[in-house]
Amino acid sequence: LATPGEILCVEFISSCMAHPLIGPFFRKVATEEIAPHVDPVPGMTPESYVDLIDRRFSNPEIVDTVRRVAFDGSSRHTGFLLPTLQDALSKGTPIDGLALAEALWARMCEGTREDGTTIAPNDPIWDKLTAAAQAAKDDPQVWLNQRDLYGGLADNPRFSDSFARWLNQIWADGAESALQGYLQT
């Protein structure tokens, strides 16, 4: 959610949710690719929990910045998204949105927004991430070969092929094109 917002110069999380592509991207990934792999919160179905998160993130009265939510992606991705991705791969369920989320993170870590402005360092290992992201422009596998982040996921062709396709599309046609492509699937 925050990563495409950062790339596309959206300042607040509620504005990301109101964006015609970012909000629907969040909802589709959360509903179709994350919720099926999350243990239910007591008293809630995974779907009702996604609805609750959606309402919270969409609330403009809760002023939460994209920069804050995007902070420390190296911990957030490895702690939240990648375990879900691993579970989805092992169960043969959809992963294209999760792969796109990882490609968007790689694009963000390159250090510039699509309007050319600089993204200030936003991770304890920012320099390492930026170097890998810049090299991944020509070879997306370089990003996945950060074994401390991706481990064996880098060797999974279903994930690595989807990631490479999305990252190449982002660099060729922009983040909005990739988001639109995912939403049409």
Domain of 142: which CATH number?
A: 1.10.1040.10
Q: For residue 72, give its domain range.
A: 2-183
Asked if 70 and 3 touch (Cβ cutoff 8 Å), the reply is yes
User: What amino acid occupies position 144?
Assistant: L
Residue 177's pLDDT is what?
A: 98
Joined tokens for residue 57 = 């993130």
Residue 139's pLDDT is what?
A: 98
| pTM score | 0.96
The residue behind tokens 């939510």 is 69
Q: What's the rounded Cα separation, in Å, for the pair 122 and 124?
A: 7
Asked if 52 and 44 touch (Cβ cutoff 8 Å), the reply is yes
Residue 9's pLDDT is what?
A: 98
Q: What's the rounded Cα separation, in Å, for the pair 169 and 163?
A: 10
Q: What is the pLDDT of residues 83-116, one digit of tens each?
A: 999 999 999 999 999 999 999 999 999 999 999 9
Q: Which residues of 30-42 are buried (b: 16+ CB within 10 A; e: fewer)?
A: bbbbbbebeeeee
**Domains in the chain, number:** 1
Q: What's the rounded Cα separation, in Å, for the pair 132 and 144?
A: 9
Mean pLDDT of residues grouped by 10 in the chain (185 residues)? 96 97 97 91 87 93 94 94 97 98 98 98 98 98 98 97 99 98 96
Residue 142's pLDDT is what?
A: 98
Residue 166's pLDDT is what?
A: 99
